[in-house]
Amino acid sequence: MMGQNRLPEEKKRYWLSALLKCSFGSCEYHKDIKFSEKNVFCLDCLDGFCRHCKEPHSLHRRLKIYKYSYQDVVRHSELQNYFDCSSIQTYVSNNEKIVHLRPRTSPKEFKLRKSESNAKEGRKATPPKWGGACEECGKHLQDLHNRFCSILCKVSLTAYPISNVL
Ligand SMILES: [Zn+2]
Ligand SMILES: [Zn+2]
Ligand SMILES: [Zn+2]
């Protein structure tokens, strides 16, 4: 018997594409109650759900969506069951390795750019000497051996044809 988590290639493409397109804002059905942020993605239904509507999916394959610096992230260990996330930069949040769904839109970078104009004080922001860059979007990566900053970047550069993402 095959591992129960293995998905056929064809299906894999659909759920990845759905996951990357899904916006994990508040749930349309429960926006008036507390904790209605969508924080679960169901791989069988290809949609995101909040904690109030995830019950019918308890037997489905699901991914928990977390927020890390306001970005959507998933746990490396959970995602690894369904998608090979090697070469993607991981971060540590609450002692768990996490992976970004999409490239970060980082407010930090804007700040860096601004502070470059204060260079006369000799505190020029030098680009870090360590790390690498994402092969798809060029974002700085902490670890040199990584090639991508996010799932989306890996998917767009590798064999998963995803159309109309974002
Ligand atoms: Zn809901
Ligand atoms: Zn489901
Ligand atoms: Zn990237």
Instruction: List CB-based neighbours of ion ligand 2 within 5 Å.
Output: 42, 44-45, 57, 60
Residue 65 CB coordination number (10 Å): 20
**Interval 61-104: pLDDT, tens:** 999 999 998 899 999 999 999 999 999 999 999 999 999 999 98
H-helix or E-strand spanning residue 79 = helix 76-79
Q: How far apart are CA 77 and CA 163, in angstroms?
A: 27
pLDDT at residue number 79: 94
In angstroms, how far is the first alpha carbon of the chain from the final one? 37
What is the number of the ligand closest to the CA of 56?
2
**CA–CA dist 34, 111 (Å, integer):** 33
Q: What is the DSSP string of 3-22?
A: -TT---HHHHHHHHHHHHH-
**Within 13 Å of residue 147, how many CA atoms lie on the same side as its CB?**
11
Residue type (1 letter), 20: L
Q: Give this prediction's pTM.
A: 0.76
How far is ligand 3, taken at its centre, from the CA of residue 48, in Å? 23
What is the percentage of the chain residues whose pLDDT exceeds 90?
A: 64
**Which protein residues have their CB within 5 A of the ion that is ligand 1?**
27, 29-30, 50, 52-53
Ligand closest in space to the Cα of 132: 3
CA 132 to ligand 2 center in whole angstroms: 37
- Which residues, in sequence order, are CB contacts of 3 under 8 Å at separation 6+? none
Q: How far is the CA of 97 from the centre of ligand 3 (A)?
A: 18
Closest-lying ligand to the alpha carbon of 38? Answer: 1
Are 36 and 30 contacting, i.e. CB atoms less than 8 angstroms apart? yes
Q: What are 126-161's pLDDT values in tens digits? A: 556 678 999 999 999 999 999 999 999 999 887 654
Cα(161) to ligand 3 centroid in Å equals 16
Across the chain, what does the average pLDDT equal? 82
Domain range list for the chain: 9-116+128-157
